[in-house]
Amino acid sequence: MLGPVPHAAMPRKTHLDTLALITLLACCALWGLNQVASKIALAEVPPLWQAGLRSLCAAVLLLGWCGWRGIKLFERDGSLGGGLLAGSLFGLEFACIFAGLQFTTASRMIVFIYLAPFVVALGMPFISKAERLQPRQTVGLLLAFGAVAWAFAEGFGQSDAPPRQWLGDTLGVLAALFWGGTTLAIRATKLSGLSGEKTLFYQLCVSGVALSLGALLLGEPFPTSLSPRISAMMAFQIVVITFASYLLWFRLMRQYPATILASFTLLTPLFGLLAGALLLGEPVTLRLVVALVGVAAGIVLVNRR
């Protein structure tokens, strides 16, 4: 991975190039795998502790990486306010997701979470006039989200829904708002001119502390002993997901339109279904295949010159 690049040397691009496409697809695939890893790890690591520990441990890795690469993280540059805001939104997103899953199904939750690209699409024109959606891009975003919703529509037809499912659904919508808000906060504050490393460091530290405190306040038992399988799942989440893939994501955000990047994240839940089929034995249906085609078509419309 390349070292820090001055902001002036990284002009913002209007469309994704080949390297960005490959990187973004790899991130979406990894985030889909992360859903499987998180589900497996919940057997021994409570949700808030899981989210908090992976943020804190990844922050330590990032600190070591930046020290080795000579990347400054603690110099005064006026970014503290934006960093605290982005980190808080990042932590609130995961808090809503884990809390909401106690009341609603995972399939419903993930549909609501992926309302986030709409939050970004609606908010970006207030930050950057150059990223205003054209009618064709709006159609593409709607097509991509519709394909995702259709892929998970089976989760809406269950007759044995939990009694407080509305609460879980509401928390899912809030998680989407916080996720989209995190993206907008990064682009609207001085974080947009910083290295991806420092932006990520803010989010990991703030969310790690906040989520761990939340776990303590809610009385979640701290995981003192992990089996080799769960240890591997946590290591994957910390090193590959929270450290490496998030760092790549923030670097992409510095160079490419946030709306286009957000549209590609709609692939993540579908990659999650594929990972579930391969690793957990869940069936791959025609509905999933058609949805993948719909997402691909929508993304092409959003990113077409």
| pLDDT range class, residue 194, cuts 50, 70, 90 | confident
| Mean pLDDT confidence for 48-64 | 93
Spatial CA neighbour of 155 closest among 125, 122, 114: 114
Max avg pLDDT among 65-79, 255-269, 278-292: 65-79
pLDDT value of residue 105? 63
**pLDDT for 220 beyond 50:** yes
**pLDDT for 247 beyond 80:** yes
Backbone dihedral angles phi then psi of residue 152, each to the nearest 5 degrees: -105, 10
Tell me what the pLDDT averaged over the chain comes to.
Answer: 79
Residue 210: C-alpha distances to residues 16, 62, 94, 134, 197 (Å): 34, 18, 11, 38, 20
Determine whether 24 is exposed, middle or buried from the number of CB atoms within 10 Å of its CB (0-12, 13-18, 19+).
Answer: buried
pLDDT one-digit tens code per residue, 144-183: 777 777 766 655 555 555 567 778 778 888 888 898 898 8
Cα separation of 177 and 85, whole Å? 14
Percentage of the residues of the chain whose pLDDT score is greater than 90: 18
**pLDDT for 214 beyond 70:** yes
32 neighbors 266 (Cβ within 8 angstroms) = no
**pLDDT for 225 beyond 80:** yes
pLDDT one-digit tens code per residue, 15-50: 778 888 888 889 988 887 877 787 788 789 888 898
pLDDT one-digit tens code per residue, 75-90: 888 888 888 998 999 9
Name the DSSP letter for residue 267. G
Max avg pLDDT among 54-63, 152-161, 195-204: 54-63
Place of tokens 């989209």: 180
Spatial CA neighbour of 249 closest among 20, 4, 10: 20
Cα separation of 116 and 93, whole Å? 11
pLDDT value of residue 75? 82
Spatial CA neighbour of 83 closest among 94, 95, 74: 74
Cα separation of 274 and 264, whole Å? 16
**pLDDT for 3 beyond 60:** no
pLDDT value of residue 129? 65
Q: Kindly report the length of the chain.
A: 305
pLDDT one-digit tens code per residue, 89-115: 998 988 887 777 667 766 667 667 777
Structure tokens belonging to residue 3:
């070292």
pLDDT value of residue 167? 80
pLDDT value of residue 61? 95
pLDDT value of residue 5? 36
Max avg pLDDT among 4-18, 21-35, 269-283: 21-35
| pLDDT range class, residue 283, cuts 50, 70, 90 | low
